[in-house]
């Protein structure tokens, strides 16, 4: 094994180098324990509370892209070649508070203060991205969807988000950061770590194929929004890692052969933005998929490869007939996504294979699609039930049906009996009633802390009824008649 290299990143005006760090060391641990930058807090250690929010800057087409992420589950090797901004960086060079900080003071947006650094960084990222424009309430809510406050309440924080753009603007020298990052960019594979374990970072698809064949047991890490919890919550020793975030081919999003092909390394935000250009019906699910920091880091390919029964992407992907493109030493292999899952956390992956891309069929004129997520809160919550319904029509008759639900079985699963009750029938209330009954043949859900079995089945049936209300041939109901959150869309 080659000698591990130094992780190089830009922070607080200079390039930092880190050697011999465990590949599973988190950015939060490094900040607090190694750099003694204790403004960034640890709360939940699972990317839920936002107390650890930092902003990472990366070069994209020669420009600086800033994204808020959760330091508690981001791995230190992911910083290589990037810039890191923490709450210690926000104040202006002359010591004055940044408009984000001043607005929080003016609007009384902090009490105990523990969550405040995370709110500051989420707002600072939005401040840079807004470039002086006043954010809408929906934009503020989305930017703060990954930050929890348990004492101040959100009204004064939202007031501060609106107030910050009214204060004298603060300049940010992006060009200086770009100049500092350019020499840090690598063109070939790198490895970081210590004598116990290393993290390989391939730059090309060919390097990744070779690495995966040589180390089929190494853990693949995309956005670390799931693997990070294996480390912080399960305390697992993972051995060698392969970090996918620098493989340019895996970030490619393109239309080919009537399919939208999304590389497995494309972030959730990038993937959903591309999908929603074709399927605007998915916009609410995009907004409700975790939080902004999670979507900035996590990937659609990782969501698919993980195969969680409560993963929110799989139901609509299966309902649309999506395919998964696998790559291994023997070349490419294409599977229907529904055939990829063999059982709980079991996938049809051969030795050395990995998910290269997800292919989504483009819309058809005769198809109607809806997705619904039921959870205990609007933002940043795990689904009790996530449902996707897709019907094709020939006149007034249902010519094809694809229905998939998450949270109802050991894997995201199609509803074969329900589909059979619909195909060849008119979209009538009588047919709806038979289809709702058939859902009981398709699913026998478990009870857990999120919902009981009876609740899940009743809710799934009610979601099918809601789908009928929205898509029935006569007098379909508009979104504001069936969705209490439509105003936030």
Tens place of pLDDT for every residue, the chain, 489 residues?
Answer: 468 999 999 999 999 999 999 999 999 999 999 999 999 999 999 999 999 999 999 999 999 999 999 999 999 999 999 999 999 999 999 999 999 999 999 999 998 999 999 999 999 999 999 988 899 999 999 999 999 998 888 999 999 999 999 999 999 999 999 999 999 999 999 999 999 999 999 999 999 999 999 999 999 999 999 999 999 999 999 999 999 999 999 999 999 989 999 999 999 999 999 999 999 999 999 999 999 999 999 999 999 998 887 789 999 999 999 999 999 999 999 999 999 998 888 899 998 999 999 999 999 999 999 999 999 988 888 999 999 999 999 999 999 999 999 999 888 899 999 999 999 999 999 999 999 999 999 999 989 988 999 999 999 999 999 999 999 989 999 888 887 766 444
pLDDT given at position 359: 98
**Token pair for residue 408?**
């109802």
Rounded-to-10 torsion of CA 357, 361, 363, 367 = -130
pLDDT given at position 489: 42
The pairing of beta strand 198-201 with beta strand 241-243: parallel
pLDDT given at position 443: 95
Q: How far is CA 60 from the centre of its chain?
A: 19
SS3 track for the chain: CCCCCCEEEEECCEEEEECCCCCCCEHHHHHHHHCCCCCCCCCCCCCCCCCCEEEEEEEECCEEEEEEEECCCCEHHHHCCCEEECHHHCCCCCCCCCHHHHHHHHCCCCCCCCCHHHHHHHHHHHHHHHCCCCCCHHHHHHHCCCCCCCCCCCHHHHHHHHHHHHCCCCCCCHHHHHHHHHHHCCCCCEEEECCCCEEEECCCHHHHHHHHHHCCCCEEECCCCCHHHHHHCCCCCCCCEEECCCCHHHHCEEEECCEEEEECCCEHHHHHHHHHHHCHHHHHHHHHCCCHHHHHHCEHHHHHHHCCCCCCHHHHHHHCCCEEEEEECCEEEEEEHHHHEEECCEECCCCCCEEEEEEEECCCCCEEEEEEEECCCCCCCCCCEEEEEEEEEECCEEEEEEEEEECCCCCCEECHHHHHHHCCCECCHHHHHHHHHHHHHHCCCCCCCCCCHHHHHHHHHHHHHHHHHHHCCCCCCCHHHHCCCHHHC
First to last CA, the chain: 51
From the list 398, 392, 410, 415, the residue with the least C-alpha distance to 464 is 415
pLDDT given at position 309: 77
From the list 126, 119, 127, the residue with the least C-alpha distance to 148 is 119
Domain 99-169 homologous superfamily, CATH: [2Fe-2S]-binding domain (1.10.150.120)
Instruction: Please provide the CATH number assigned to the domain covering 7-88+176-243.
Output: 3.10.20.30
Question: Which phi and psi angles does 148 have, rounded to 5°?
Answer: -110, 140
CATH classification of 248-361 is 3.30.465.10, yes or no? yes
| Spans of all domains in the chain | 7-88+176-243, 99-169, 248-361, 374-488
Angle at 246 between CA 320 and CA 286, to 5 degrees: 35
CA distance 462 to 468: 10
CA distance 394 to 370: 18
pLDDT given at position 485: 67
From the list 252, 259, 279, the residue with the least C-alpha distance to 362 is 259
**Token pair for residue 86?**
């923490």
CA distance 395 to 142: 40
- Tokens 């509803």 sit on residue: 415
Q: What is the pTM of this model?
A: 0.94
Domain 374-488 homologous superfamily, CATH: CO dehydrogenase flavoprotein, C-terminal domain (3.30.390.50)
From the list 209, 189, 210, the residue with the least C-alpha distance to 200 is 189
61 CB-near residues (< 8 Å, 6+ apart): none
**Token pair for residue 314?**
């799989």
pLDDT given at position 2: 66
Longest dimension (CA), the chain: 72
The pairing of beta strand 83-85 with beta strand 7-11: parallel
Phi-psi region of 249 (alpha: psi -120 to 50; beta: other; left: phi over 0): alpha
pLDDT given at position 124: 98
**Token pair for residue 286?**
């995009």
pLDDT given at position 307: 82
**Burial group, residue 150, by CB count within 10 angstroms (0-12, 13-18, 19+):** exposed
Phi-psi region of 331 (alpha: psi -120 to 50; beta: other; left: phi over 0): left
């Amino acid at each position: 094994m080659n000698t591990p290299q130094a992780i190089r990143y830009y922070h607080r005006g200079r390039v930092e180098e880190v050697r011999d760090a465990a590949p599973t060391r988190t950015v939060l641990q490094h900040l607090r324990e190694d750099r003694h930058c204790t403004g960034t807090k640890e709360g939940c250690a699972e990317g839920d509370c936002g107390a650890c929010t930092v902003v990472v800057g990366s070069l994209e087409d020669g420009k600086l892209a800033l994204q808020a992420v959760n330091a508690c589950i981001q791995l230190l090797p992911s910083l290589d070649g990037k810039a890191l901004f923490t709450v210690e960086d926000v104040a202006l060079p002359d010591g004055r508070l940044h408009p984000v900080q001043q607005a929080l003071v003016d609007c009384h947006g902090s009490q105990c203060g523990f969550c405040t650094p995370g709110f500051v960084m989420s707002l600072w990222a939005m401040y840079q991205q807004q470039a002086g424009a006043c954010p809408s309430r929906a934009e503020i809510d989305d930017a703060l969807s990954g930050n929890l406050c348990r004492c101040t309440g959100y009204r004064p924080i939202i007031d501060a988000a609106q107030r910050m753009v009214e204060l004298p603007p603060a300049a940010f020298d992006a060009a200086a950061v770009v100049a500092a990052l350019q020499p840090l960019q690598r063109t070939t594979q790198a490895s970081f770590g210590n004598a116990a374990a290393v993290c390989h970072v391939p730059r090309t698809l060919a390097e990744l194929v070779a690495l995966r064949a040589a180390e089929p047991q190494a853990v693949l890490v995309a956005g670390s929004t799931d693997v990070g919890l294996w480390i912080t919550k399960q305390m697992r020793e993972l051995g060698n890692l392969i970090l996918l975030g620098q493989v340019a081919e895996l970030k490619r999003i393109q239309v080919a052969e009537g399919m939208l092909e999304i590389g497995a390394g494309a972030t959730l935000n990038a993937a959903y933005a591309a999908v929603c250009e074709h399927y605007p019906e998915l916009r609410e699910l995009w907004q409700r998929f975790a939080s902004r920091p999670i979507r900035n880091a996590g990937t659609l390919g990782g969501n698919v490869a993980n195969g969680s029964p409560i993963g929110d992407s799989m139901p609509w992907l299966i309902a649309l007939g999506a395919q998964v493109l696998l790559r291994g030493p023997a070349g490419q292999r294409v599977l229907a996504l529904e055939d990829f899952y063999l059982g709980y956390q079991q996938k049809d992956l051969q030795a050395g294979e990995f998910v290269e891309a997800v292919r989504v069929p483009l819309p058809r004129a005769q198809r109607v699609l809806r997705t619904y997520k039921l959870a205990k809160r609007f933002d940043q919550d795990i689904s009790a039930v996530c449902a996707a319904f897709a019907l094709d029509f020939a006149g007034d008759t249902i010519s094809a049906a694809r229905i998939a639900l998450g949270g109802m079985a050991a894997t995201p699963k199609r509803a074969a009996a329900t589909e059979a009750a619909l195909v060849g029938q008119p979209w009538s209330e009588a047919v709806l009633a038979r289809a709702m009954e058939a859902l009981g043949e398709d699913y026998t859900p478990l009870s857990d802390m999120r919902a009981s079995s009876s609740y899940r089945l009743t809710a799934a049936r009610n979601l099918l009824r809601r789908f009928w209300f929205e898509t029935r041939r006569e007098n379909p109901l508009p979104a504001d008649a069936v969705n209490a959150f439509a105003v936030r869309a």
